[in-house]
Amino acid sequence: MITHSHGSGSPVTLVAHGLGATPGEARIPASGLPGTRVVVTLPSHGDAPDAPAGYWDYGRIAADLATVPADHAVGVSLGAGALVRLLSLEPDRFRRVALLLPAVLDQPRQPFTLQQLSDLTVGPPNYVAERRAALTRLEAAAEQLPGQVAVPDASMLAAVSAPVLVIGAVGDPLHPEDVAKATAAAFPGGELWLIDSPAPMITHRAEVRHRLVDFFAG
């Protein structure tokens, strides 16, 4: 894992992307946030080296994220799952957390293929081409992640006192709204925002950005 910092000062916000995210896509949740944004690049993404054998485990990714000192955190899909695992181990780790499009909580997600991820990619042609190229490095992830859970029991998150904003999508087969609902319910300070779109990071990008800015401002 490598990191890229943007901005300066406090607060420091850790931003963890989803599987197959392009560098530009990974930065989207950090847009407009004050202070320092530390955007991680997981192995086999962007300019990071390929993942070592057996890397794609929520616990291992969470351990990587734990090396970044931060006040706040944003995770998208895979990054959200890794942050959930980290919070189950260190409930007081962050002051505020946003989890976007969580794909799994305490029940295994359905198997998926890279072809499915590619077929479901929508957006401007340049982005679609870039993301499909990024997916070609992730065969091992598609083999290892299905069957895993972010936490073995959602009750492990009951000790997290920080406010947690969960943003889910309606109609996204890879990020079921039931997972978003269960994730928000698992946190004492959980707040759910369901967006009526299968691709809210594209169709509601401005609204998501404004909601994140407001949330982290308290």
Give me the pLDDT at residue 100, please: 98
Read off the tokens for 20.
Answer: 């197959």
Q: Could you give the percent of the chain with pLDDT greater than 90? A: 78
3-state secondary structure at position 129: helix
Closest CA to 145 of 74, 84, 77, 201: 77
Quote the pTM value: 0.95
Read off the tokens for 105.
Answer: 């909580």
Q: Please report which confidence band the pLDDT of residue 3 belongs to, taking 50, 70 and 90 as the band edges.
A: very high
Average pLDDT rounded to a whole number, residues 60-79? 98
The Cβ of residue 115 has, within 10 Å, a number of other Cβ atoms equal to 11
Kindly report which listed range (5-14, 70-79, 117-126) carries the lowest average pLDDT score.
117-126
Burial 55-93 (b: 16+ CB within 10 A, else e): bbebebbbebbbebebbbbbbbbbbbbbbbbbbbeebeb
- Provide the residue range defining the domain that includes 34: 2-217
Q: How far apart are CA 148 and CA 132, in angstroms?
A: 24
Could you give the number of structural domains in the chain? 1
Read off the tokens for 136.
Answer: 């070609």
Q: How far apart are CA 158 and CA 190, in angstroms?
A: 10
- In tens, the pLDDT along 191-205 reads 999 999 888 888 898
Q: How far apart are CA 145 and CA 121, in angstroms?
A: 19
The alpha carbon dihedral of 205, 207, 208, 214 has a sign of: positive
Instruction: Please return the burial class of 172, using the count of CB atoms within 10 Å of its CB with bins 0-12, 13-18 and 19+.
Output: buried
Give me the pLDDT at residue 110, please: 78
Read off the tokens for 26.
Answer: 């990974």
- In tens, the pLDDT along 135-161 reads 999 999 999 999 999 999 999 999 999
Q: Where are the alpha helices (DSSP H) in the chain?
A: 23-27, 58-65, 78-89, 114-119, 125-135, 139-144, 177-186, 200-203, 205-217
Give me the pLDDT at residue 49, please: 96
CATH of the domain at 22: 3.40.50.1820
